[in-house]
Structure 1
Amino acid sequence: MKLRGLSLFVALSLAAGQAAAVEFTQAELARATALQKKLVTLDSHLDTPANFERADFDILAAHPDNKLSQVDYPRMVAGALDGGFWAVYTGQTDRSAKAHLEDRDDGLQRLSVIHQLLAAHPDKFEEATTPADAARIKGEGKRIVYISMENASPLVADPSLLSFYYKQGLRLMSTAHFLNNEFADSATDPKGPEWHGLSPAGKQLVQDAQKLGIVIDQSHASDEVFDQLIAMSPVPILLSHSGARAVHDHPRNIDDARLKVLAKHGGVIQMNSYSGYLIDNGASAERKTAEGALMGKYGDWEHMKVADGAQLTADLKALDAKYPVKHATLDDFLEHLEHTLKLIGPEHVGIGMDWDGGGGVEGMEDVSDLPKITAWLLRKGYTEKQIAGIWGGNVLRVMQQAQDWAAKQPK
């Protein structure tokens, strides 16, 4: 089983618990929803394509109260989310030649199901490849589909596939995921650094991607990778789904000094809602053993049926009752958001919740709850222009800078 399965399972078990303290009136939520409908609202990290490979998943149907689904068309409409970056995610196993070929094929399969979505529902979803596409697609009443890659492992076996992915719509790419790979060190590999940043192949990959106009995503990579990307990148970089280390000291989060460097370089951090990166849940050894056993019951995580989600939800509640842990809430997410906004300003902050990839907290459990973020921003006094940047303008600015620079490079 690839590492993502168990990690996602654990994250979902933490997305329920005590209620968040922050509350909003119906009037506040109505105002926030109305404002979002005026703006271009983008989430920079949607793992929803994983659900496209579930036999019984229908993106046009609502799937409320189901641990396997947080994003579908009805809930995007309800939460006034116009779209975002839909991820080509690939897990890692043993890094053998065979595994690299499997990663290559898995990446192409995930790319294929995104294009199948576009082909099946052209009246509701449309691919975007430039910043200008977002407003046009929204104006036509459709949801926006930018394509990203989380973990560059699909390119290890054949780095020349990068140009193919670009032609198929890839516009945002990270180098690594939970573990080190041939391109870069991960922030969370238990073995520690292998390359002390980017490998030679990783540096070449970054350069090749930037020459195409692909934005580089630092999320999941190590601090040393961040430092090297800042030093070598002629354009700003993005953290598509990360948090503030000053609020919760986790290696997946970024420290204040680097946040300031990111902003100085013109970059943007998109705030995530993955519980384990927001708080320390205090899970006991017995709890972790029980989580592994329960995961074994469900087998191949990514090919579970959506219908199994109801039983999974019940099993997770029983697990919580037997082995209680602390659960992240909307308040915890907002603490990360507020810290970052105060530190580097709203021009360098956005939203990347990690929906369908482990994101979601008590009080904000799927995309239909997103107006709560806007209601909080309004309550805190942020202007419509600043909120527009947070909800999409900032990430589109980074994309425009990447594409403008690439257009000037010799072909």
Structure 2
Amino acid sequence: MVAALRPVFLFALLFAAESAVAATPEQVAAAALAAAPVWDGHNDVPEQMRDRRKNVLADFDFRDTTSTGDAAKGIAPMMTDLRRLKAGKVAAQFWSVYVSANLPEPQAVQATLEQIDVMKRIIARYPAEMQFCTDSACVESAWKAKKVASLIGMEGGHSIGGSLAVLRQMHALGARYMTLTHFKNLAWAESATDVPMPQGLTPFGKDVVREMQRLGVLVDLAHVSEKTMMDALAVARAPVIVSHSNARAINHHPRNVPDAALDAIKANGGIVMVNFYPAYVVEDTRQYNARRAGEEARQKALNTGNPEGTKAAMAEWDKANPAPIGSIADVAGQIDYIARRIGADHVGLGGDMDGIEVSVKGMEDVSKYPDLFVALARRGWAQADLEKLASRNMMRVLKAAEAYSAAHRSDPPIENPTSF
């Protein structure tokens, strides 16, 4: 009788083995996203509300924004809406309340308050689809309710106007990360894209990091210089994030993260969330932008006093020299590099959707995340690592930051004197 059963048993083993081998990249990606939906680190819908609508929502419909473009004016449709978030398996989003770093700091504080307000109003409009969250428990609750957990991040320390009191009030309003700089230096922090400062963070800048972590506001190192990264990491006692940046070893843009900082982020327990902007993803695009800037400077010199001549010459140059924008494979390559360098526990996604005018081919809007996961599965990524990339890493980082804050709840607030 045992002998009679043996062929059946062998068949079952063979069938199980064939089933395991037969799992396609599409199936691996789908299983990963079913277990751990996407948590994206940076989306600029609030900026679009300010630029397109002056924050007046009125007839704005966030369920479908595909008709928000104006071809005659060269305005592209928005990259984000509820329908495409669902298609993209995005179930948690840090909404960036970015305001221009060119604003005087008092105006920047006001504008940041307005951006928090407009995003909260959008979330409140769609209670069946979105849930405002300020902690990891709320994110998990929103997922169970099939809603998009919606958190707020401030993009640039100018949003607090040099005041730890303002930082505390932004936290009270729900901000849960702050990018230390944007494209310009602050008095207390060096940006990656401004003139060098003597140091990355001043003593006050280090106090900003300490107070953020005491409060449970994630320290975001996107946009900052390498010196600022290393200074912040030396002070940090809880994991940090880089909400929307790439590896400088692949694309040498100063906005990207150098290997030394990647290694320090690993030691810190933090996460680098990969961006989809071609100029930060693809080195060829960065080089193209430099060539174009050089040609524009040449044409301005040749057409002194004749701006229309410069404009016409650049139109011809652009026609003859289309910009390379890269593809989904280039984003996968960035993710691969970071994971190989510091481990799959320290990489995430921060697409910068609606904060960029163009994305790499294949990642044109928020519906495209599953395609990226398929591309990674084709490269050999296992389901468990894809789940980490999707949201498990971000959840771990936020919980660690919350634990640190809870342990230091009784610490006195760090004070700084008022400036006027």
Using structure 1 for the length normalisation, give the TM-score: 0.80
* Contact 2:32–2:384 (Cα < 8 Å) also in 1: no
Deviation of residue 133 (structure 1)? 1.9
- Equivalent position of 2:173 in the other structure: 168
Return the alpha-carbon distance in structure 2 between the equivalents of residues 328 and 318 of structure 1: 22
* Contact 1:149–1:173 (Cα < 8 Å) also in 2: yes
Return the alpha-carbon distance in structure 2 between the equivalents of residues 159 and 318 of structure 1: 50
Question: In the alignment, is residue 150 of structure 1 matched against residue 155 of structure 2?
Answer: yes
Question: In the alignment, is residue 280 of structure 1 matched against residue 288 of structure 2?
Answer: no
Question: In the alignment, is residue 213 of structure 1 matched against residue 216 of structure 2?
Answer: yes
Return the alpha-carbon distance in structure 1 between the equivalents of residues 316 and 390 of structure 2: 36
Change in Cα spacing, 1:254 to 1:285, as seen in structure 2 (3 Å) is closer
Change in Cα spacing, 1:348 to 1:102, as seen in structure 2 (3 Å) is same
Corresponding residue SS for 2:164: coil
Corresponding residue SS for 2:152: strand
Among 78, 81, 90, the residue aligned to 2:87? 78
Q: How does 1:109-188 map to 2 (within 5 A)?
A: 109-156=114-161, 158-188=163-193
Among 26, 29, 34, the residue aligned to 1:32? 29
- Equivalent position of 1:46 in the other structure: 43
Deviates more, 1:263-272 or 1:274-283: 274-283
Deviation of residue 379 (structure 1)? 2.1
Q: Look up the equivalent residue of 1:392 and give its one-letter code.
A: S
Moved over 4 A (4+): 27-31, 286-290, 316-320
Deviation of residue 405 (structure 1)? 1.0
Consecutive unaligned residues in structure 1, runs of 5 or more:
1-26, 293-315
Return the alpha-carbon distance in structure 1 between the equivalents of residues 279 and 406 of structure 2: 40
Deviation of residue 72 (structure 1)? 0.7
Q: Look up the equivalent residue of 2:293 and give its one-letter code.
A: A
Deviation of residue 267 (structure 1)? 1.2
Q: Which has the larger radius of gyration?
A: 2
CA-to-aligned-CA distance 1:291-322 (integer Å, 9 cap, x gap): x9xxxxxxxxxxxxxxxxxxxxxxx9998535
Q: How does 1:50-69 map to 2 (within 5 A)?
A: 50-53=47-50, 54-55=52-53, 57-63=60-66, 66=69, 67-69=76-78
* Contact 2:35–2:387 (Cα < 8 Å) also in 1: no
Consecutive unaligned residues in structure 2, runs of 5 or more:
1-23, 54-58, 70-75, 301-313, 412-420
Return the alpha-carbon distance in structure 1 between the equivalents of residues 143 and 316 of structure 2: 42
Q: Look up the equivalent residue of 1:231 and give its one-letter code.
A: A
Return the alpha-carbon distance in structure 1 between the equivalents of residues 251 and 296 of structure 2: 20
Change in Cα spacing, 1:125 to 1:29, as seen in structure 2 (3 Å) is same
Deviation of residue 274 (structure 1)? 1.2
Deviation of residue 280 (structure 1)? 3.4
- Equivalent position of 1:379 in the other structure: 378
Using structure 2 for the length normalisation, give the TM-score: 0.79
Greater relative contact order (CA < 8 Å, ≥ 6 in sequence): 1
CA-to-aligned-CA distance 1:175-198 (integer Å, 9 cap, x gap): 101110123100011xx2225101
Corresponding residue SS for 1:362: coil
Deviation of residue 121 (structure 1)? 1.4
- How many aligned positions are there? 355
Deviation of residue 331 (structure 1)? 2.1
